[in-house]
Each structure stands twice: as structure tokens, then as C-alpha cells.
């Protein structure tokens, strides 16, 4: 009768983000001990697993700014039953998307050629480096996203409320003070 | 028996004075109706459509609709909330609204309505328009990226300041806010930071320089309570007198 429930498998990653949302996630502090009773981690900076296997929940921080981001995002969408956009950059592109009104070549020229600092080094063109996209996109413009949690970053209490609602099978409801765009 | 006239708003009896609009009566009674282009000191504009309600089953903008005795008004229903959410989402993708780096964050009505309506995502595909800022004026910055075309600055500048500093140009998707100067720069107008037009922007377009982020997070107007609980802030007041040119 009381067979232990299977733990939910969770993967997390940061695309064009700053890992601030992951840091805020860790700010749930000792509540992480309650969380690991309920979930186990697949691909995540916490486990250092490089590729995502079949998961119940995928959490994406950051928008899509280069070709590798697209591949990682698609891998998550393919493997995760529920995909969550966490933080301002995943939700609307955030700070990286503020380059969107500029021409990509002009940006690269300015950073690597005309401005002091890196000038003279040339625009990086190593095959190892993923090519930047013309524009930075929020993740819902590339794959279907099931849930969104805005914030820069979302506060730890918001992440906790969101995850506990979701794990309990409820649609997460963020009351006043937990829903923030900044 | 009092002869006070009333109408029903979501089942609640709202008293009104003759000549008041549905919005004015609701706000006076402490009931908030979401809005962006309405301002207590200005004539209603009816353009943002956030305040759309159903009156006896028909949609109408509550900021322009005169209150009438016995009318039945629906505002806070699932259907209307969905429509308002879609309007906010369309405004969010049409401009460049990056709250974390905006000085108006925590003071912004568009943001506050997003919270109140539970807008978790902009949902639509972003336009990411190219709208250069105007930093020419010594005291005021114009960041057109956030303009929602409510025309409050236009109305304030012409109706109160007597200056006509702002205007809209273009049509449809190309409609945008401009500065009435041959150069198009705010510095080349008689605009001053003390003008009414500098005080009315509901979003972060018209910003006083050197004052950014003065109020700490936690103490900003929409930190303590949601905009939906702040109806008294928007109660109708007498219009500001027009300044002598």
C-alpha cells in the first residue's frame, strides 16, 4: 500500500543566462533536503551530467543566443515532460536581448576591432565556439514551454513555491510579492 | 430612503454622482479597474482598452462610459481578465520592456498590472524594435523603448503645460511618440522637468535624470500591495489648471 513514490527526475541548465537563477535556486537553503526527498537530478550544474535523459521536469535559465543554446533547449524539450522557463532571460530574453536592436557584425567589429581592450585580436572563429544568433530569443520562441517563472532572479521563496506546487500536481500560483519581473 | 443612484459592479452596489464615469465611480468606491491611459486629472481617452468591462452584457471602456442607474457591470471575471492579460502581453512584446534595468520598475503601472493579472509570460513573439533614446535634455531622459502610446504626456503638455512638446506620428504598427522640434530632440523644446508632462508617464519613458533607483526595493509603490488594492490612488480629482504660457 505505501510503496515509496518514484522520485521525479529533474534537469536544469543555463543558456544565455548568468547562473543567477541557479544561485537563487540554491538560496532555498536547507529546504533542498526536503526537495531531494522528492526529486533526483539529471543533467544540471549540480550533477555535472552532460546530456539530459528522460525527465519529468526541465528547468531552463537564460534565453537563446547561440547555436548551442538551440541544441540544448531542443534536447531538454525532447526529454522533459514539463519544461519551465525560469527567470527574466528565459521568459523575455532579458539583458542579453538588449543587443537585439544592434547589428551582430557591428557588435563583433566594435568589441574585437575598433574599441580598445580586445582590439587587434580578431573576431573569434574557432570551430569549438558556437555561432551567435542574429538575435537573442526567449525560449518560448524556439520550443513549447509549459510554465514560466519570471524574475531577475525569481526569489528563492518563489522558486520553492513554484516547485512545491508543481510537484504536488497543482498549477503554480504566485501571489503578490512572489511574482516579480525585476 | 436615500435617492443616491447606484449601479452594480461585479454584484457590488456602487454609488455615483451624475456625470461620473463607471471608472470614476468605481475608484471613488474603492474598487480598482485596471487601466493605463486613464489618469485622474485628465479627460478619459479610452484608447488602452485595459478598462474594458461588460455593461449589461456588452463590452465598453469603463473610463469613457457614463454611469447610469441600474446598469450591471462585469469587470473581474475570468473572461475579462484573460482579455486584459492578452492586452498587457501585446504591449510587452511591442516595445522593449526589460524591467531589471528600468528605473521605473516598482513604480510602473504596466508592470503592476502584469502582476495583478498574473502575466507570467509575454506569450507572443517579441518585436524587439529599434527605438533610440533621447538623452539630449539636461534634466530628463526619454526612453521610447517603453512607450505604450497612452498619450498622457501629449495631453499633459498641451492641456496643462500649454507647450505641445509631444505628439504621435505614423499609423498602425508604425505609430510612435515624437518630440515637436525641428531636430526631434527634447533639448530643443521648452520642456522642463517641472512640467506636468514630466510627471504623468505610467511607464518608464519620461525619466528625471540623476534620480534613478532612489527608492529601495521593498519600499516602492507596488511592493507592499498590488495595484488592485490601491484604488484610492486613482480617485478622480480636479484637473490641474492650465499654466500661463
Does the residue A122 lie in any domain? no
* Domain range enclosing A15: 8-97+134-167
Count of other CB atoms within 10 angstroms of residue A54? 11
For residue A14, pLDDT beyond 80: yes
Summarize the confidence of residues B113-133 as an average pLDDT: 97
CA distance between the termini of chain A: 46
What local confidence, expressed as pLDDT, does residue B27 receive? 98
What rounded mean pLDDT belongs to chain A? 95
Q: Name the phi and psi angles at A21, rounded to 5.
A: -70, -35
Residue A179 within a domain: no
A140 part of a folded domain: yes
Total domain count for chain A?
1
Position A120 in a domain: no
Size of chain A, expressed as the number of residues it contains: 182
Average pLDDT over residues A133-149: 98
Among all chains, which residue has been given the C-alpha cell 574585437?
A112
- The residues facing A84 across adjacent strands are A59, A147
Note the pLDDT of residue A5.
Answer: 78
Q: What confidence score (pLDDT) does residue A120 get?
A: 75
Q: What angle do CA B126, B223, B109 make, to 5 degrees?
A: 45
What is the rounded distance in angstroms from the CA atom of residue B11 to the CA atom of residue B5? 15
Q: What are the cell numbers at B191?
A: 520642456
CA distance B57 to A67: 50
How many CA atoms does the CB half-sphere of B80 hold within 13 Å?
A: 22
pLDDT in tens, A32-90: 999 999 999 999 999 999 999 999 999 999 999 999 999 999 999 999 999 999 999 99
B109 shares contact with chain A (CB less than 8 Å) = no
- CATH numbers and ranges of domains, chain B: 6-76 (3.10.20.740), 98-223 (3.30.70.20)
Please tell me the predicted confidence (pLDDT) of residue A165.
Answer: 96
pLDDT of residue B166: 98
Q: Is there a contact between B226 and A176 if contact means CB atoms under 8 Å apart?
A: yes
> Taking the CB of residue B90, how many other CB atoms lie within 10 A of it?
13
Model confidence at A4, pLDDT cuts 50, 70, 90, reads low
Q: Is residue A22 part of a domain?
A: yes
The CA distance from A138 to B126, in Å, is: 8
Contact by Cβ (8 Å): A46, A32: no
Instruction: Judge whether B204 is closer than 8 Å to chain A, CB to CB.
Output: no
User: How much is the pLDDT for B225?
Assistant: 95
A179/B115 touch (CB, cutoff 8 Å), yes or no? yes
Q: What is the pLDDT of residues B39-63, one digit of tens each?
A: 999 999 999 999 999 999 999 999 9
The radius of gyration of chain B from alpha carbons, rounded to an integer in Å, stands at 19
Confidence of residue A119 (pLDDT cuts 50, 70, 90): confident
CB contact under 8 A, B100 and A145: no
Which of A60, A103, A142, A182 has the highest number of chain B CBs within 10 A, making it the mutation to test binding with B? A182
| pLDDT number for residue A121 | 78
Q: Which has the higher per-residue pLDDT, A5 or A86?
A: A86
Structure confidence by residue, pLDDT tens digits, B198-235: 999 999 999 999 999 999 999 999 999 999 999 999 99
Q: Using CA atoms, how far apart are residues A117 and B65, in angstroms rounded to an integer?
A: 60
Which pLDDT band, with edges at 50, 70 and 90, does A118 fall under? confident
Four-CA torsion A22, A27, A31, A36, nearest 10 degrees: 20
Question: Residue A15 maps to which CATH number?
Answer: 3.40.50.700
What confidence tens digit (pLDDT) does each residue in B1-39 have? 468 999 999 999 999 999 999 999 999 999 999 999 999
Supply the ipTM of this predicted assembly: 0.94
Q: How far is B128 from chain A (nearest CA, A)?
A: 6
Does residue B156 surpass a pLDDT of 70?
Answer: yes
Sign of CA dihedral A170, A175, A178, A182: positive
Mean pLDDT of B177-197: 97
Quick check: is A126 in a domain?
no
Q: How far apart are CA A83 and CA A73, in angstroms?
A: 10
pLDDT class for B242, splitting at 50, 70, 90? confident
Beta strands in B113-202 (DSSP E): 140-142, 166-169, 176-179
Give the model's pLDDT for residue B245.
57
Which of B98, B111, B225 has the CB atom closest to A98's CB atom? B98
Q: Are A93 and B101 a contacting pair at CB < 8 A?
A: no
For all residues of chain B together, what is the average pLDDT?
96
B contacts of A138 (beta carbons < 8 Å) = 122, 126
Q: How far is CA A157 from CA A169, B34, B94, in A?
A: 18, 27, 31
Task: Taking residues B104-110, report their average pLDDT.
Answer: 97
Q: What is the mean pLDDT of residues A105-118?
A: 89
Left (φ > 0), alpha (ψ -120 to 50) or beta: where does B213 sit? left
Interchain CB contacts (distance < 8 Å): A and B = 75
Task: Name the pairing type of β-strands A39-41 and A132-137.
Answer: unpaired
DSSP E strands, chain A: 8-14, 39-41, 55-61, 64-66, 80-86, 132-137, 147-149
Amino acid at each position: 500500500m505505501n510503496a515509496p513514490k518514484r522520485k521525479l527526475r529533474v534537469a536544469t541548465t543555463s543558456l544565455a543566462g548568468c547562473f543567477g537563477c541557479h544561485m537563487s535556486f540554491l538560496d532555498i537553503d536547507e529546504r533542498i533536503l526536503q526537495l531531494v526527498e522528492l526529486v533526483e537530478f539529471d543533467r544540471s550544474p549540480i550533477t555535472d551530467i552532460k546530456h539530459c535523459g528522460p525527465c519529468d521536469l526541465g528547468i531552463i535559465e537564460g534565453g537563446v543566443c547561440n547555436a548551442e543554446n538551440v541544441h540544448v533547449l531542443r534536447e531538454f524539450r525532447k526529454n522533459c515532460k514539463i519544461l519551465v522557463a525560469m527567470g527574466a532571460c528565459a521568459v523575455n530574453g532579458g539583458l542579453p536581448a538588449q543587443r537585439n536592436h544592434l547589428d551582430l557584425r557591428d557588435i563583433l567589429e566594435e568589441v574585437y576591432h575598433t574599441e580598445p581592450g580586445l582590439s587587434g585580436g580578431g573576431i573569434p572563429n574557432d570551430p569549438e565556439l558556437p555561432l551567435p544568433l542574429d538575435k537573442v530569443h526567449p525560449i518560448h520562441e524556439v520550443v513549447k514551454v509549459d510554465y514560466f517563472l519570471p524574475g531577475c532572479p525569481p526569489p528563492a521563496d518563489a522558486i520553492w513555491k513554484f516547485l512545491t506546487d508543481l510537484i504536488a500536481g497543482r498549477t503554480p500560483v504566485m501571489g503578490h510579492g512572489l511574482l516579480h519581473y525585476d | 430612503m436615500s435617492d443616491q443612484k447606484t449601479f452594480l459592479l461585479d454584484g457590488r452596489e456602487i454609488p455615483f454622482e451624475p456625470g461620473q464615469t463607471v471608472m470614476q465611480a468605481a475608484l471613488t468606491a474603492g474598487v480598482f479597474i485596471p487601466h493605463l491611459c486613464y489618469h485622474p486629472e485628465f479627460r478619459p481617452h479610452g484608447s488602452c482598452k485595459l478598462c474594458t468591462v461588460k455593461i449589461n452584457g456588452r463590452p465598453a471602456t469603463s473610463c469613457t462610459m457614463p454611469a447610469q442607474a441600474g446598469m450591471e457591470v462585469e469587470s473581474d471575471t475570468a473572461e475579462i481578465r484573460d482579455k486584459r492579460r492578452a492586452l498587457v502581453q501585446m504591449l510587452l512584446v511591442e516595445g522593449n520592456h526589460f524591467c531589471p534595468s528600468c528605473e521605473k520598475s516598482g513604480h510602473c503601472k504596466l508592470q503592476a498590472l502584469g502582476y495583478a493579472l498574473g502575466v507570467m509570460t509575454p506569450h507572443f513573439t517579441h518585436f524587439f524594435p529599434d527605438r533610440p533614446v533621447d538623452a539630449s535634455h539636461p534634466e530628463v531622459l526619454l526612453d521610447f523603448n517603453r512607450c505604450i502610446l497612452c498619450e498622457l504626456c501629449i495631453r499633459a503638455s498641451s492641456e496643462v503645460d500649454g507647450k505641445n512638446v509631444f505628439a504621435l506620428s505614423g499609423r498602425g504598427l508604425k505609430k510612435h511618440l515624437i518630440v515637436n522640434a525641428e531636430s526631434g530632440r527634447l533639448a530643443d523644446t521648452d520642456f522642463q522637468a517641472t512640467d506636468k508632462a514630466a510627471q504623468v508617464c505610467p511607464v518608464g519613458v519620461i525619466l528625471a535624470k540623476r534620480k534613478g533607483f532612489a527608492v529601495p526595493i521593498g519600499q516602492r509603490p507596488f511592493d507592499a500591495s498590488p495595484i488592485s488594492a490601491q484604488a484610492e490612488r486613482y480617485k478622480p480629482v480636479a484637473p490641474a489648471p492650465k499654466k500661463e504660457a
